[in-house]
Amino acid sequence: MGKIKNDIQDEDKMWQKIIMKYNIPDHRKSIWQIINSVVPYALTWYLLYRSLEYPYWVTILLSLLAAGFMIRIFIIFHDCGHKAFFKSQRANYTVGRIMGIIAFTPFFKWHNQHWIHHTTSANLDKRGIGDVWTLTLEEYLKASGWDKFAYRAFRNPFVMFIIGPVFTVFLANRLTKKSMQKKEKLDMYFTNAMILLMSAAISLVIGLKAFLLIQIPVVLIAHSIGIWLFYIQHQYDEVMWLRDSEWEYKYAALHGSSFLKLPPVMQWFTGNIGFHHVHHLSPKIPNYNLAKCHYENEIFSDIQPVKLFSAYRALSLNLWDEANMRMIGFRQIPKAERMTDPQKVSG
């Protein structure tokens, strides 16, 4: 594995030239993306209000569309945090915080953790901040009964994609911690206050019950899909994890982040975030340049896509089998354990 660092370091100049071509934001495209995301979201929200005159399942169906626009708004929020949406830091931070209020996500707290994620992604020795809780096979086998139960519960799809959004929206994104920086705390207070003010203003117009019947499904569906996207971006068959001594940023970006090939409509709603390998190679690339960067450069031709209809398999991948350099599921533990310890084969 030591060859990885040498190979990547020899190609540094080529990577830099490729990245620089796509790193410059186009303000016209950025402004247009804000318009074609926020305006349709507001219009869909109005349709949701009118749908309450009909059976509630109509509202739920419309919530899927509104959630799609909220995800697109979150991608703008995401790009602004990387200072990739505008050339001006002030513009990025101002627009990012506004998008964060709409998406019920505090700007600085989320992005501080996300930046750590980018600098430690696929590094086995630096897990734990801004990533999905992932254990190695050896760590799991040595864990206590309670820790194994907690880990299995966390990796359960119901917990991750149903309970997870509720926890994120109502607790993780609302409460401060002592370990947080003052800037993060103040921003979270500001975000919470703006969300409360926005919610109160809308509730005064349409009523609290109507507001909750509309907003809660939208925000929970959007966050559920968002968690799934983040999960599949780093939990898939071909993913690579390395120890810190072998870890290299560019290799980790290309082989520790997936290329999720989505249908055109889903790719639009998710702001091209499926090209996550490109995004991790350079977070400064605006979302509307990610696909262009991937398809215009031969260096990405050997990246195998994760297709939508096979992505469900990733939900069964739970542990990193370090000895065999692959993700495995809980059902594969006995076999993997025998392969790791030959003495158990004869036993």
* Tens-digit pLDDT profile for residues 145-167: 999 999 999 999 999 999 999 99
Q: Could you tell me which residues come within 8 angstroms of residue 127 by beta carbon, excluding any fewer than 6 positions away?
A: 120, 133, 134
Decide if pLDDT at 65 tops 60.
Answer: yes
Q: Residue 11: its pLDDT value, please?
A: 54
d(CA 249, CA 252): 5
Q: Residue 308: its pLDDT value, please?
A: 83
Per-residue buried b or exposed e for 273-288, using 16+ beta carbons within 10 Å of the residue's own CB: bbbbbbbbbbbbbbbb
Residue 15: band (very low, low, confident or very high) from pLDDT cuts 50, 70, 90: confident
How many other CB atoms are found less than 10 A from the CB of residue 195? Answer: 21
Per-residue buried b or exposed e for 241-270, using 16+ beta carbons within 10 Å of the residue's own CB: bbeeebbbbbbbbbbbbbbbbbeeebbebb
Decide if pLDDT at 286 tops 70.
Answer: yes
Beta-strand relationship, 319-321 and 326-328: antiparallel
* Tens-digit pLDDT profile for residues 75-91: 999 999 999 999 999 99
Structure tokens at 252: 């980790």
Q: What integer best gives the mean pLDDT of the chain?
A: 91
End-to-end alpha carbon distance in the chain:
32
Q: How would you list the strands of the sheet with 326-328, edge to edge?
A: 135-136, 319-321, 326-328
* Residues of the chain above pLDDT 90, percent: 80
d(CA 206, CA 222): 22
* Tens-digit pLDDT profile for residues 304-345: 999 887 788 889 999 999 999 999 999 888 765 655 554 443
Range scoring the smallest mean pLDDT among 5-14, 126-135, 268-277: 5-14
DSSP one-letter string for 35-49: HHHHHHHHHHHHHHH
d(CA 347, CA 331): 20
Range scoring the smallest mean pLDDT among 6-10, 182-186, 229-233, 288-292: 6-10
Residue 347: band (very low, low, confident or very high) from pLDDT cuts 50, 70, 90: very low
d(CA 131, CA 122): 9
Instruction: Tokens 């005064």: give the residue.
Output: 204
DSSP one-letter string for 69-123: HHHHHHHHHHHHHTT-S-S-HHHHHHHHHHHHHHTT--HHHHHHHHHHHHHHTTB
Q: Residue 336: its pLDDT value, please?
A: 56
Q: Residue 81: its pLDDT value, please?
A: 96
User: Which residues sit opposite 328 in a β-bridge?
Assistant: 319
Decide if pLDDT at 5 tops 70.
Answer: no
Q: What is the dihedral of CA 115, 320, 128, 8, to 10 degrees?
A: -30
Helix, strand, coil distribution of the chain in percent, nearest 5: 70, 5, 25
Q: Residue 338: its pLDDT value, please?
A: 52
Decide if pLDDT at 8 tops 50.
Answer: no
Q: Residue 334: its pLDDT value, please?
A: 74
How many other CB atoms are found less than 10 A from the CB of residue 95? Answer: 21
Max CA pair span of the chain:
73
What is the pTM for the complete model shown? Answer: 0.91
